[in-house]
Amino acid sequence: MADFTLDEDQRQIQDMARKFAANELRPIARECDEEAVAPSEVLDKVWELGFCANAIPENYGGYDLGRSALTSAIMVEELAWGDLGLTMAALSPLLMMVPILEFGADEQKEEWLPKFCGERFFPGTAAIMEPRIVFDPLELGTTVETQGENVVISGKKCMVPLADQAEHILVYASPRNGDAPQPVKAVIVDRNTPGLSIGPKEKNLGLNALPLFPVAFDQCVVPASRCVGRDRGIDYMKLLNLSRANLSAMAVGVARASHEYALTYAKERFAFGEPIACRQSIAFMLAEAAMEIDGMRLLAWRAAWRLDRNEDATKDAGLAKMYCAEQAMKVVDYGVQILGGHGYIREHPVEMWFRNGRSFSITEGLAIG
Amino acid sequence: MKSLVCLKQVPDTETQIKVNPEGTGIVTEGIKHIINPYDEFSVEEALRLKEKFKEGEVVILAIGPDRATESIRTALAMGADRGIHVNDPAVNTADPFAVAQALAAAAKDVQYDVIFCGHRAIDDDFCEVGAMLAEFLGLPQVTLVTKVEVAADKKSAILERDIEGGKETVEVPLPCVVTSQKGLNEPRYASLPGIMKAKKKPIDAKNAAALGVSVEAKLQSKEYSMPPERKAGKKIEGLEPPDAAKQVVQALRNEAKII
The per-residue pLDDT for range B174-208, each reduced to its tens digit, is 999 999 999 999 999 999 999 999 999 999 999 98
Q: Report yes or no: B192 at the A interface, CB cutoff 8 Å.
A: yes
Determine the 3-state secondary structure of A108 from DSSP: helix
Least CB-CB distance to A54: which of B74, B192, B198?
A: B192
| CB contact (8 A) between residue A50 and residue B192 | yes
Class of the domain covering A8-123: mainly alpha
Q: Report yes or no: B193 at the A interface, CB cutoff 8 Å.
A: yes
| CB contact (8 A) between residue B196 and residue A48 | no
Q: Report yes or no: B67 at the A interface, CB cutoff 8 Å.
A: no
| Contact by Cβ (8 Å): B173, B156 | yes
* pLDDT recorded at residue A322: 97
Q: Could you tell me the fold of the domain covering A236-361?
A: Butyryl-CoA Dehydrogenase, subunit A; domain 3 (1.20.140)
Question: Are B87 and B181 found together in one domain?
Answer: yes
Give, for B63, the enclosing helix (H) or strand (E): strand B57-63
Closest CA relative to residue A328, chosen from A359, A301, A282? A359
What CATH number should be reported for the domain whose range is A126-226?
A: 2.40.110.10
**Which of the four pLDDT bands, split at 50, 70 and 90, describes residue B246?**
very high
Q: Locate the domains of chain A by residue range.
A: 8-123, 126-226, 236-361
Q: Is A130 a catalytic residue?
A: no
Question: Are B201 and B257 found together in one domain?
Answer: no
Range of the domain at B122: 2-211
d(CA B244, CA B188): 54
**Which of the four pLDDT bands, split at 50, 70 and 90, describes residue A1?**
low
Closest CA relative to residue A244, chosen from A321, A326, A171, A331? A321
- Considering only residues 127 to 166 of chain B, which have any Cβ-Cβ distance to chain A shorter than 8 Å? none
Predicted ipTM?
0.90
Question: Are B45 and B109 found together in one domain?
Answer: yes
**Which of the four pLDDT bands, split at 50, 70 and 90, describes residue B84?**
very high
Q: Is residue B225 part of a domain?
A: no
Question: Phi/psi of residue A223, each to 5°?
Answer: -60, 140
pTM: 0.92
Q: What is the pLDDT of residues A60-84, one digit of tens each?
A: 999 999 899 999 999 999 999 999 9
Q: Report yes or no: B189 at the A interface, CB cutoff 8 Å.
A: yes
| CB contact (8 A) between residue B193 and residue A63 | yes
Angstroms from B73 CA to nearest CA on chain A: 9
Question: CA of A64: which chain B residue's CA is closest?
Answer: B193
**Residue B91 clears pLDDT 70, i.e. is over it:** yes
Structural domain count of chain B: 2
Q: Count other C-beta atoms under 10 Å from residue B206's C-beta.
A: 19
